[in-house]
Amino acid sequence: MSLDDIFLFLQNGIDRFIRWLRIGAPPPRGRRHLLIVQIDGLARSVLEQGLAERRMPFLRRLLARGAYRLTPMSVGLPSSTPAFQMAAMYGVRPDIPGFHYHDKRRRSDVYFPRAGDAAFVEREQAGGRLGIVHGGSTYGCVFTGGATNNLFSFAVFRRPTGRGLITALSAFVVLWWVAVKGVVLTAIELTRALLRFIADPVAESARGWKFLAIKIGISVWLRQLFTLAASRDLYAGAPAIYVNYLDYDVLAHAYGPRHPRAMRALRRIDRSLRQLWTVMRRVPEHDYDLYVLSDHGQAACIPYVTLAKGAGFERRLFEDVLEPAGAHEVDPAQPQGRRLVRGIKAYRSNRETGIWQRFVNYLEHDFPWVLGELKEARERGALRVVSAGPNAFIYFLDVDAPLTLEEIDKRAPGLAEELSRTRGVGFALARSAAGPVCIWRGKRYRVADGEAGPFAGREDLDVVLAGVADLMGMRCAGDFVLYGLGTPEGNVSYVAEHGAHAGTSPEELHTFIVHSVKVTMPSAITHPIELYPHFVAYQEVA
């Protein structure tokens, strides 16, 4: 028995004592309980590689024994966590076109890490439907799914919820052990980094502090906290638990989906999965069903700032395409703060090189208010551009309703074709009176008529075209939706990342769900909304 098991055993005794004090009843018998483990950002092809390379030995054994099987799953568009979890947790077709987008009616952006945005979206789009985690716990999710306990969920990020003070005190043992274990593991990682630096300072300097910070923060502290807290819930008989492990996704964004640092994260997640399985087997009276799934994959990409030598996508789009095309009238007033940068116009136009140019680019990207560019960088006149990953949205702000391509043609003839030929843009999507249109290399393809365009030859063409139709049916999707996938330079992300998602590539769209052979799932899942009837049945039985 490991030290984790000892402390969880002690925690279980405290929980039983609390129930003896009549603060809570034991969990009811005669119903099955739900445990969902999400490995954020893991494509099915990368999982298969990880299993073949024995990076996930426990999950490999689980599948090899025949008690569990892997069912293919397609996640639809956009291939992102908020859209996936809204569909799976509440059974609705989400109006969530990306991780960051603009809502014309509210006249504001929705950006999920920002306080309040996820809560607003969940309240508006869930529509009072029963969530699949009702009465249970979520860890590391975007939405709550109706859970009573929520930790590091975007919807309640600043105010984690729980069952009250006495129950919180009953978790003291677990929290204390997480703190002790986290400090010890952090010290070990720092010692290893120091020894590596002494042995090879050049190679260790190249690794950078970013990797060390991600590993300690996400893989040590958050993963340990989620695992121990979920284990406590298993002992207590929580009706539903949804834990989302972020390790792989964060490292894949930073370094690429098949980078060794990202792949090594799979072994750490596998260890946590084994611990949850062990606890689940020790409480057979709770009848837990385990599901292991992923919400999307990632495509390897290059950041647009690398392609454009430091310039941001929004600025280049305005200066090279939108303003020359006359798509809107530019406000002639001097933006506030322009005096701060008078005299460095050549640098801001990227006509110079060297350290100073890098410094100016850094200011424009991370501190635009210094240059008086907070609004101008993304919004000029009646247009707003929002970059969200390998996707970017263009909104015409003078009307609240989405514009059709026919209406845009009247405003700016030829703009659609020009956008599709812009460097860093693979293809553009727009609405039309006859359905979605894909503009690729200057030619229009009518998706509703089955015209494949850039997707020709794909084995999953039906899934891709259905996803495009879903995406362009969302009210909050841009009047143009641009994708940096399949450009002559490769896949491009409009934010600074080497792994990206939200798009149509097979790596992003196709994931998996691992489940017991005793439960019946569709043979192939084409959209996460198909998961809802299965998962909510655990609530309806109750």
Q: In the block, which residue shows the tokens 């964060």?
A: 250
The tokens of 401 are what?
A: 């309703």
How many angstroms separate the CA atoms of 74 and 115, rounded?
30
**Which is higher by pLDDT, 402 or 261?**
402
**Which is higher by pLDDT, 153 or 395?**
395
Region 216-243 average pLDDT? 81
How many angstroms separate the CA atoms of 412 and 324, rounded?
10
Which one-letter amino acid corresponds to residue 57? P
pLDDT of residue 333: 46
DSSP designation for 528: G
Query: Over the Cα atoms of the chain, what is R_g?
Result: 25
pLDDT band of 500, cuts 50, 70, 90 = very high
pLDDT > 70: percent of the chain: 72
How many angstroms separate the CA atoms of 167 and 233, rounded?
12
Q: What are phi and psi of 156, to 5 degrees?
A: -135, 35
* pLDDT greater than 90 at residue 79: yes
The tokens of 60 are what?
A: 């490999």
pLDDT band of 154, cuts 50, 70, 90 = confident
Question: What are the strands, taking DSSP E only, across 286-373?
Answer: 288-293, 299-300, 302-303
Taken in order 532, 535, 537, 538, the sign of the CA dihedral is negative
pLDDT band of 31, cuts 50, 70, 90 = confident
Q: What are phi and psi of 74, to 5 degrees?
A: -110, 140
Q: What are phi and psi of 23, to 5 degrees?
A: -85, -25
Omega before 78 within 30 of 0, i.e. cis: yes
Region 226-235 average pLDDT? 86
pLDDT of residue 351: 43
